[in-house]
Structure 1
Amino acid sequence: MGYSAVEVAGRSAGVLLVAADDRAKASHAAQESTLRGRWSDLAQVRHRDGRIIDVRLCVSSLSGQDGLEWWVVCATDKALLPAWPAKATVAEPLLATLPPPSRLPIGVDIRDTHLRCIRVNDTQGSMDGIPLPKRLGRRLTEAAPGTEAETLEAVMHQVLESGDPAINVDYQAFLPANVRSNHILTASYVRLDDAQGRALGVCVVSVDVTESRRARERLAILGEASRRIGTTLDVMQTGQELADLAVPFLADYATVDLAECVSLGEKPLAHLCPQGGHIPVFRRAGLASIHPGTPESLTARGGPVFVLPTSPFTGALRSGKSHFEPMLDASKGTWLDHHDAARAEKLREHAMHSLMVVPIRARGAVLGVAVFVRTEDPRPFEEDDLLLAEELVSWAALALDNARQYVRERSAALALRRLLLPHRATGGSAADVAWRYLPTDSHHGIGGDWFDVIPLSGTRIALVVGDVVGHGINAAAKTGQLRTATRTLADMDMPPDEVLSRLDEQVIRLTEAEADPRHPATTTMAATCLYAVYDPVTRTCTMARAGHPPPAIIDPYGHVTFPDLPTGAPLGIGLVPFESVTVELAEGSVLALYTDGLIEARDQDISAGMNRLRAALARPDLTLDDLCSSTVDTVQAKSPGDDATLLLARTRSLRADQVASWRFPSDPAVVGRARTLATRQLTQWGLENLAESTELIVSELFTNAIIHGNSDRTVGLRLIRHEMLTCEVSDASHSHPLVRHPRTTDEHGRGLFLVTQLSHRWGIRHIPDGKLVWADQQLPASA
């Protein structure tokens, strides 16, 4: 009203009333009122600033000291008052506002200030399960004792005391213990006041929201399924993801059993039928329970599952239809009792009372079966639960079949890769070798990395590492084509730059052969490669690369360098010629060849990976195999997106007493001298039993070199004793001699034919100033 207490205390309240009639009515009511009398009416009062305010006055008499009358006067803004008549009794206006129960689609429960039910409509009783005789005149905790009722009654107390409504409070229907239901109600609580603002009680308005909540929960679970099922291409992991999602959203206990052929990536079953009188093997891929350790299960995850021919599991698999048993009463005996006592005991021990068995099928094939069970949740499964379970299983089935097909392709790619990679690669007399090949993670599939160690003539070896762009079985097949072509070119003893040039041409031809005439630009076969040849006689290594990371050289003291080697374009581009670089290596040096999957990371520059590699390789104290393992463990990215390959070769060199070489003028008269020197050297090596065959080989090769070579140049002879005895004759001619099969009347053409018969193998290779013909002979077992 704008007045302070000091200004109005002791003055007549009537001076605040605007109308004279209001002052007269107030005076009259006060004079006629008895002790504890009440009076209320609408009136207008004047604010100190002159404004008129419409209010409802509520006046109650009190007993004062010394017999004086005291009054409590409350003024309330008219706009905030209920529309009930001011002079009505407490119950009548409240009850008069309720229409007949049949007209209300919602439940209404009215309680007094002691929270006793004084009126309720039939809808409320049908929703929450408390009958009318049990409800009227009683509090909720008396009609339906339990924690749920205590919680709701506490809400009513709060509303009654504060006057603030409580909106949309969820609770379960009150049903007998032997009746299982999952009906959900939502209630709003509002305090009821009389015209004088006194609390009359609480009005409870309830709505059954079971269906809407179920629909919302189903959508939420299906949304979770799209995020949580099929995160990997692993069938066992996908099965576990389905079980984890089902518990506890849908069931208390869930299992996912898959046909063994699915986990192996093999062709799935078209339909379930006994094989040799037995059900095919199933394995437990998923297992989840509300209890730690899944005590309900007889089979651990990954273990074989015993499937009864007469069980609902087998029936669901055969028919393709779900088995639905909402009331599974273990006390009356089940199909398990006479066939599987252990499972029957588990069923009773954990009070399994509701069961759903859903077959897992995709693209017309049987993959397995999912089982959902309720134990502690008293509600039985309903038809809506079965529909949800089938939707979840359908989602998982597609993910499982995709994973199965991936496993099948990955297994084929791995098998092909294992056939393509060297199994017992050896560096012979030239080097000790060690390698590691790590396929990429399951998200990307097998990549196109490959490597090889190829023995060459004259104790040399070729070290090769390459990477075909792409993943999967196609990349593995292309890798096989490149490896075969590389070995063929290596057998022709071409220098590294020429090998890469020929490989480049081969890749271009393969790409053109596979190209789709309608979309030629969509077919590509780009690849990178590093090809190195090490000669233990000269301790030199000649290298060339095609878009591949450079090799690392570790000297005997652990210093790591990356040689300045021209990058070259990747194979299949055909842009620039390749260049070779020759470096001399100290004996005991390590040559490291690798692919970019070992050093590349998405969040780092490639130089960071090369620095990590440099630090990891600087370990001269480790054996070659240990160095290979520790380097891969240290350098490889945590989540590689590509294969990683590392090939290490610790070089050797031949001693001076293992090599003998001479130069002779191009004159037939020196052939005898060459034979004599060769025989003398074999005697020093204790290889006298090879003297005769070696003399014939030297004689024939020398004769060919003198006849077909340049008479102005010298002819070279070199003998190398290693795992073989190698005889090399070099001249200045670039023409290749051919093996002929001479007739009995021919006087010439038997030279190389004899060399072929006398040697283990022979060949020809180009050298900078001509050609070199070599022949290997096996050493005696005692040598």
Structure 2
Amino acid sequence: MRGNDGTHPAGPVDPPGGPDPRGPLDAARAATAVLDDDGTVIGWGAAAERLLGYPPGEILGRPVDGLVVDRPGVHRAAADLPGAARARRQVLHLRHRDGRVVRVVTATLPLSHAGAGPARLLAVADADETEHWEALQAMLRGLATQSPVGLAIYDTDLRVVWTNSALYEEMGTSQYVGLGPDDMVAAGEVLSAGHPPTLEETMRRVLTTGEAVIELHYRGRPPVDPDHDHVWSCSYYRLQDAGGAGLGVCEETVDITDRYLAQQRLDLLVRAGGLVGTTLDMSRTARELSSVAVPRFADGVTVDLVDAVLRGDPPTTRTGRLVRVWAAPPDGPAAGPDGAHPAPEPVPYPPDAPQLRCLDSGRPILTGGAAASLVVPLRTDGAPLGVVTFHRAGRPTPFDADDLPVADELVARTAVCIDNARRFTREHTAALTLQHSLLPRNLPRITAVDFAHRYLPADGKSGVGGDWFDVITLSGARVGLVVGDVVGHGLGAAATMGRLRTSVRVLARQDLAPDELLARLDDLITQAADEEAATPGSVTGAVPPGPARGPDDVPDDQAVGATCLYAVYDPVTGVCRMARAGHPAPVVLDAAHGTATVPAVPAGPPLGLGGLPFESAELHLPEGSLVALFTDGLVRDRARDPEAGLDRLSALLAHHRDRPLPELCDRAVTALLPGPFEDDAALLLVRTRLLDGDRIATWELATGPEEVGRARALAARQTAAWGLEELAFTTEVVVSELVTNALRYASGPVQLRLVHDRTLICEVSDTGHTAPHLRRAATDDEGGRGLFLVAQMTQHWGTRYTATGKTIWAEQALPTP
């Protein structure tokens, strides 16, 4: 097959005993007859009798023309022979003794013997057999001298005994006789999987079993080109005699180096299509490119990106500073055992560095000794993203023009993936910035509860979600607690979250009950979805109208629904009322017993379905109770059952219930979200308080007009008792106006309550359901100035409805200490 320097003589080697030259017209095998000068048969052999059926007694003395069916004049053809040294061949049709026609091939040879005239030897053989033999001989001569396929024959000891000319031309030498199959090239290696590691083992198996081996790929360096690898496609089959005994093995080889390299390049690109760009992380994409290129295409890869691209900014024609995001050996440290890689860092290239020249020109550059490096630009839409540098160290084959299309294709695919990652980075950053700007920054300091919170944006490719939380101060020292989750990811989800959070704050300020607030919020979402769906080309937070859609038809950045839990806690009574719209129920940790439970709060439908009712539940929370409100991203993922996450959260809160709330938040998110997670997670921890009884004063008033004066006196004495003499006059005016309105426009008992919290709260409750409205009285009006005075003299005022009527309240800021 291949070449090696040896001492054996050059040239093809004949098999033992030499080739068999005898064909059907050989005198030893053919049917023969002797003709005289006139073409009369004077001799007739036994083989001729077997071929044509005539015994010698019937044919001797007869002219041979009598046997010829369609070509008379054989004697004339014989007379035309060019000389005794050559035989003239003819194809004739002779009449058999039984009447049938036999197609034969004839050859005439001159004979001379003393005392006789010129005579000829006529050799006759079956034409089909002769033509078959001649074709076989032509094929054998062609294999030996003209075939493009290299041939070698090995004996039973698997040593070369014969080769053809093609092998000599391919290898540049024919000194193979006596060599084994693995001794004929340098650095030989079997490439095909499922075969023994050496050719000798493969051929020994063929010789033993008789099973042929087809297209085994073998790599090595032939004598004619000792500095470069070649690849051959080899086939082997056993040679055997007529009895089936093995004589050796025949090897056929074809040099497929170019085809093999082309297939390797194609396989490389196919592999890149499946492995590069599996995530929207630029460093990960660079690492995936390196894993494809090394070691099949290069020994090392470095990927440098423009710093603006790493920030997610769109590429420009102006190049910026290059930052290395990946470097595989030999130009950088490899990733650690966990796949981690050093953080991206700027690369101080000199001005004439090939990387900067490649970035500026947008064309590949071959550089280094014998083109040991290939620098290819990462570009998209004509703008530079960075450069990729491929290195080859210690390889006999440097980069050349054939490698440029492969490198271009690899880098082009990588550029698309990196640009997608850049776009994702930009959108993710924008969505994260938007979401953080919409989430509460400075939550109020309130007496009702202590609280801490954590928000963790998703790490997955889906981007920022729509989770949110809020703490809202309400009238009467109460507090509203909110946690919600918008379905979807990206800017759409973040924007929808902002709208919902604002809507909840507005509705909460109206002192609505939790179930009523969720009903109002559901109406708003449904109405907004209907309006946006009716507007062509609108960017909506709902699914546009049209054919039925499945979950896969909804883009990742489109919000299609929301869940929410809203709770109101009253530190005066210790009662917490809550309702939820498709949201996980909270975990409540009892302060006295330390047991964690999940209260049975009616689930309610998610927001946006429209028309379905919501129900609220009422909990009595002892002081110091711990309430955990969260989104499902904290307890649920693809590999974890939400019930298991809920149990783990409950156990963690119970075990660390005395820890400070910020520390407890950190412990919870660390335990429940130890690694990358695909959904946002929000956690709001609340520890309840109760107002001291001496900070609350409540009086029941009768319905007579004299109760107004009594109410003013009670308020004045209480403000003095609390050391708030500065607020006494204002408080008397506020109490007088609110009680007067209650007695004038409502029926039934009236209650006056003062609450000394971070503000001084004055509340008047009655059984009426009609709320007063602020108006500006004319100069000639006798009344209508009461609420105007209240609004001018207090910070806030408002009305909230209760199960038995309504409460009008007003807050005053406390004097500065």
TM-score for both structures, normalised by structure 2: 0.72
Q: Aligned residue for 1:781?
A: 816
Could you tell me which of 420, 425, 434 is aligned with 1:402? 420
The corresponding residue for 1:219 is 266
Match of 2:799 among 756, 764, 774: 764
Deviations 1:283-334 (A, max 9, x none): 1122212699359xxx965111234443332333333332235xx328xxxx
Does structure 1 conserve the Cα–Cα contact (< 8 Å) formed by 2:182 and 2:199? no
Q: Which residue of 1 aligns with 2:222?
A: 174
Match of 1:242 in 2: 289
1:540 aligns with one of 555, 575, 583: 575
2:762 counterpart SS class: strand
Structure 1 pair 107/496, CA: closer, same or farther in 2 (3 Å)? same
- Structure 2 CA distance for partners of 1:212 and 1:768, relative to 1, 3 Å: same
Mapping 1:520-531, distance limit 5 Å: 520-521=545-546, 525-531=560-566
Match status 1:457 vs 2:475? yes
Amino acid of the structure 2 residue aligned with 1:264 = R
Q: Deviations over 1:629-658 (max 9, x none)?
A: 333333459664432222111000000111
Q: CA deviation at 1:559?
A: 1.1
Distance 2:404 2:529 in 1: 53
Residues 728 and 774, structure 1, Cα contact 8 Å, conserved in 2: yes
- d(CA) in 1 for partners of 2:232 and 2:632? 62
486-495 or 379-388, which moves further after superposition?
379-388
Aligned partner of 1:650 in structure 2 is 687
Task: Show the 5 A alignment for 1:304-703.
Answer: 304-325=346-367, 328-329=368-369, 353-426=371-444, 428-516=446-534, 520-521=545-546, 525-556=560-591, 557-602=593-638, 606-619=642-655, 620-636=657-673, 640-703=677-740
- Whether the 8 Å contact between 2:311 and 2:425 is mirrored in structure 1 is yes
Aligned partner of 2:20 in structure 1 is: none
Structure 1 pair 512–732 and aligned structure 2 pair: CA distance change class (3 A): same
Return the match for 2:771 from 730, 736, 739.
Answer: 736
Superposition pairs for residues 88-127 of structure 1, below 5 Å? 97-99=140-142, 103-109=146-152, 123-127=166-170
Instruction: Go from structure 1 to structure 2 and tell me whether the alpha carbon gap of 1:457 and 1:180 turns closer, same or farther (over 3 Å shift).
Output: farther
Structure 1 residue 169 displacement after superposition: 5.5
SS at match of 1:248: coil
Structure 2 contact 181–200 (Cα < 8 Å) conserved: no
Query: How much does 1:246 deviate?
Result: 1.0
Q: Give the whole-Å Cα distance in 2 for the aligned partners of 1:125 and 1:627.
A: 81
What are the ranges of 5 or more consecutive residues in structure 1 without an aligned counterpart? 1-92, 274-278, 331-352
1:392-432 Cα distance to aligned partner (Å, 9 max, x none): 11222221122111111111111111012122324610001
Displacement of 1:174 in angstroms is 2.6
8 Å Cα contact 1:599/1:637 also seen in 2: no
Q: Is the 8 A contact 1:253 1:289 kept in 2?
A: yes
Task: Map Cα deviations across residues 723-778 of structure 1 (whole Å, 9 max, x no partner).
Answer: 11112222233222233334544443332222223222222222222222222222
Is 739-748 or 550-559 further displaced after alignment? 739-748
Instruction: Give the 3 Å change call, closer, same or farther, for CA 607–201 of structure 1 in structure 2.
Output: closer
Please say if residues 579 and 616 of structure 2, whose CA atoms lie closer than 8 Å, have aligned partners that are also in contact: yes
Give deviations 1:515-541, integer Å, cap 9, x for gaps: 056852569742211110000011111
* 2:189–2:218 CA contact under 8 A, matched in 1: no
Aligned-partner Cα distance in 2 for 1:118–1:581: 97
Change (3 A) 1:260 1:118: same
Secondary structure at 1:749 match in 2:
coil
8 A Cα contact 2:238 2:248, kept in partner = yes
Q: 1:653 to 1:188 in 2, by over 3 A?
A: same
CA contact (8 A) 1:719 1:725 kept: yes
Distance 1:615 1:582 in 2: 24
For 1:652 and 1:446, the matched residues in 2 are separated by 34
Specify the code of the residue in structure 2 equivalent to 1:694. Answer: T
Give the AA of the match of 2:283: M
Give the drift of 1:662: 1.1
- 1:530-573, CA deviations, whole angstroms, 9 ceiling, x for partnerless residues? 11000001111111111222222211132122222222222111
Distance 1:737 1:390, change over 3 A: same
Aligned to 2:105: none
Pairwise CA distance, 1:218: 2.2
SS in 2 for 1:293: coil
Deviations 1:320-360 (A, max 9, x none): 332235xx328xxxxxxxxxxxxxxxxxxxxxx52211111
Alignment of 1:12-51 (within 5 A): none
- For residues 218-274 of structure 1, give each alpha carbon's deviation from its aligned partner in whole angstroms, at most 9, with x where no partner exists: 2322232122211111112111111222111110111111112222222122x2x3x
In 1, distance between residues paired with 2:608 and 2:334? 56
Local SS of the residue matching 1:99: helix
- The answer as to whether partners of 1:427 and 1:461 remain within 8 angstroms in 2 is no
Identity of aligned residues (%): 43
| Paired AA for residue 534 in structure 1 | Y
Which protein is bigger by CA-based radius of gyration? 2
Q: Go from structure 1 to structure 2 and tell me whether the alpha carbon gap of 1:466 and 1:152 turns closer, same or farther (over 3 Å shift).
A: closer
Q: Tell me how far 1:616 sits from its aligned partner.
A: 2.9
Distance 2:182 2:581 in 1: 88
Please tell me the root mean square deviation across aligned C-alpha atoms, in Å. 3.6
User: Structure 1 residues 657, 199: CA separation in 2 closer, same or farther (over 3 Å shift)?
Assistant: closer
Of residues 751, 769, 794, the one that matches 1:716 is: 751
Q: Contact 1:601–1:609 (CA<8 Å) still a contact in 2?
A: no
1:47-196 map, 5 Å: 97-99=140-142, 103-109=146-152, 123-128=166-171, 130-131=172-173, 135=175, 146-148=186-188, 168=216, 170-174=218-222, 180-188=227-235
Aligned length: 651
Question: Which residue of structure 2 aligns with residue 339 of structure 1?
Answer: none
Cα distance in 2 for partners of 1:748, 1:187 equals 112
Measure, in 2, the Cα distance between the counterparts of 1:144 and 1:329.
31
Contact 1:247 1:290 in 2 (8 A): no
**Residue of 311, 323, 329 corresponding to 1:289:** 329
1:667 deviates by 3.1
Report which stretch shifted further, 599-608 or 150-159.
150-159
Structure 2 CA distance for aligned equivalents of residues 610 and 203 of structure 1: 72
Q: Looking at secondary structure, tell me which structure has more helix per residue.
A: 1
Write out per-residue CA displacement over residues 15-54 of structure 1, whole angstroms, 9 at most, x where no aligned residue. Answer: xxxxxxxxxxxxxxxxxxxxxxxxxxxxxxxxxxxxxxxx
The equivalent residue for 2:762 is 727
Aligned to 1:231: 278
TM-score scaled to structure 1, two decimals?
A: 0.75
What is the SS of the residue equivalent to 2:402? helix
Counterpart Cα distance in 2 of 1:554 and 1:719: 31
User: Amino acid of the residue matched to residue 236 of structure 1?
Assistant: S
